[in-house]
Structure 1
Amino acid sequence: MQRYFIPKENWQDNQVIITDDDYHHVVNVMRKQEGNQIICCNPNGQAFYCEINSINEKQVVCNVLEELEENNELPIHVTIAHGLPKGDKLDLIVQKSTELGMGDFVPLQMDRSIVKWDHKKEQKKLLRLKKIAKEASEQSHRSRIPAIQGKQTIHTLLQNQEFDMCLVASEYLTKDQSSQSSFRQAIDKISPGQKILLIIGPEGGLSEEELSFLHEQGCLPIRLGARILRTETAPLYALSALSFYFEEWRCEV
């Protein structure tokens, strides 16, 4: 059943009002009619069966029937902080990472990022990424839409937010680092409910200065398998492994 994420202001008692792009999708794409049912999600992560009560030229009004009992979010909150890559790779990264359970996404301006965002370009890109995350959340039947944060540096990211664990995907070590953990070793230290930050560099990887700073901040360098992954593949590998470990393997042992 098709689901839609409806903003807080469009929930009125036991009714939901659907407008704008969602209205177009309900009426013109899905061809829904009065009496049909859809799923509406609120910003609190709750999902409800709803029945279409009326359709006019600008809005669809639905009656709330009952709340769904579902558990489709990762038991840990994973923030992907990704160095700005070339082209439209961020679109793919956000779309697939959303399907795999990402909690938040932070674009990073890093030393080896070829792409540079000015304010105008950033706002346009963020709007597009938010739209992609919303559509991917609906398609994958999630209860929440990942938050797409504004562009940051690794310094501002670690200053402004707190995480239970910070992981850095890098096949290289600095002179200050004596060892690197396997991803499995890192996962074993994570408990359900924790907030995890995963930092991934752009095409050229992280600079030695960035790796040294992250080491000083207590971030743990990890390797993602035996092969060198493309920048857009790394978050998908990590999220897939976390999903399997916490949602499939751990629930059976």
Structure 2
Amino acid sequence: MQRYFLPCDYEEQVTFDLVGDDFHHAKHVMRMVLDDECFLVFKNELAIKAKIIEITDEKIIFEEVAKEEMVKEMPINVTIACGYTKGDKLELVAQKATELGMHGLIAFPSKTSVVKWDEKKRNKKAQRLEKIVKEASEQSHRQVVPSVSLYGSFNDLLEKAIDFTQCLVAYEESSKQDENSQLVKTLMTCQPGDSLLIVFGPEGGLTSEEINILEAKNVKCCALGPRILRAETAPLYALSAMSYQWELNKK
């Protein structure tokens, strides 16, 4: 069933309006008519099943049928931070990580990043990524649309790290040293409501200097198993492990 995100918190009321691009999509792409139903999702993560009771030239008016009971979000808010990568790799991560439960996406310039984005390029790319995560949130029946932040410097990432309960960085040298316990330990100690930042390098990886700077900010190095993963694969592996630990491995 189609899902739309409204830019407001849920409040008990008689009707709900769908306007703007979502109105156009519902009316002209989905060709919705009176009595059709869909899900409306609000900023406070509550979703309802709603039925169309009126269609005008500017909006579709819904009435509530029932509240969605199933919780779709991870108990820990996970933000993925990726070094700027070539091509459309960041777009792939944005889409698939949204489907896997990511709460937020950060991208930043690393010393090994090949691409160099000025502010104009970052703003344009951010708009593209925001559209991707919104559509992926609708498709995967999320109750939150992940945030997107594209930073102009590595220092911006360091300043953001203090906002999280726990911080990790995936480092291939940890894999070579068979240091696999940190990821497991972190996932097991996270509590519902915590926030977790996990940092990934671009194609060339993070430099030892960048790792040292992150460690000085209490960001812990972790391995993602014995194999070296591509820049676009590693975040998806980590999110899959988190979903298993927090959502499927319940005792």
Q: Same fold (TM over 0.5)?
A: yes
- SS state of the match for residue 53, structure 2? strand
Q: Aligned letter for 2:219?
A: C
What is the correspondence of 1:82-161 to structure 2 with a 5 Å cutoff? 82-160=82-160, 161=162
Equivalent residues of 1:181, 1:221 under 8 A apart: no
Q: Deviations over 1:85-143 (max 9, x none)?
A: 00011111000000000011111111111111111111111111111111111111111
Q: Does residue 163 of structure 1 match 2:180? A: no
Give the whole-Å Cα distance in 2 for the aligned partners of 1:155 and 1:121: 19
Aligned residue for 1:61? 61
- SS state of the match for residue 32, structure 1? coil
Equivalent residues of 1:93, 1:235 under 8 A apart: yes
Aligned residue for 1:172? 173
Equivalent residues of 1:202, 1:231 under 8 A apart: yes
Post-superposition shift, 1:9?
Answer: 9.0
Equivalent residues of 1:84, 1:107 under 8 A apart: yes
Q: Which moved more, 1:196-205 or 1:149-158?
A: 149-158
Aligned residue for 2:240? 240
Q: Aligned letter for 1:73?
A: E
Post-superposition shift, 1:58?
Answer: 2.5
Give the whole-Å Cα distance in 1 for the aligned partners of 2:147 and 2:15: 25
What are structure 1's unaligned runs of at least 5 residues? none
Post-superposition shift, 1:152?
Answer: 4.7
TM-score (norm 2): 0.91
Q: Deviations over 1:9-29 (max 9, x none)?
A: 998943222123212221122
Post-superposition shift, 1:180?
Answer: 3.9
TM-score (norm 1): 0.91
Q: Which moved more, 1:54-63 or 1:210-219?
A: 54-63
Q: Deviations over 1:5-62 (max 9, x none)?
A: 0112998943222123212221122221011111101111110111111112222111
- SS state of the match for residue 24, structure 1? helix
Aligned residue for 2:200? 200
Give the whole-Å Cα distance in 1 for the aligned partners of 2:10 and 2:28: 20
Q: Aligned letter for 2:169?
A: V
Give the whole-Å Cα distance in 2 for the aligned partners of 1:197 and 1:152: 18
Equivalent residues of 1:105, 1:146 under 8 A apart: yes
Q: Aligned letter for 1:17?
A: D
Kindly report structure 1 stretches of 4+ aligned residues shifted beyond 4 Å.
9-12
Alpha-carbon spacing, 1:23–1:227, altered in 2? closer, same or farther (3 Å):
same
Give the whole-Å Cα distance in 1 for the aligned partners of 2:219 and 2:167: 5
- SS state of the match for residue 8, structure 1? coil
What are structure 2's unaligned runs of at least 5 residues? none
Q: Deviations over 1:164-211 (max 9, x none)?
A: 1111101126xxxx9944332332232232111100000000011101
Post-superposition shift, 1:153?
Answer: 3.5
When the two chains are superposed, the root-mean-square deviation of aligned CA atoms in Å is 2.0
Give the whole-Å Cα distance in 1 for the aligned partners of 2:235 and 2:246: 16
Q: Aligned letter for 1:79?
A: T
Count of residue correspondences: 247
Q: Aligned letter for 1:165?
A: Q
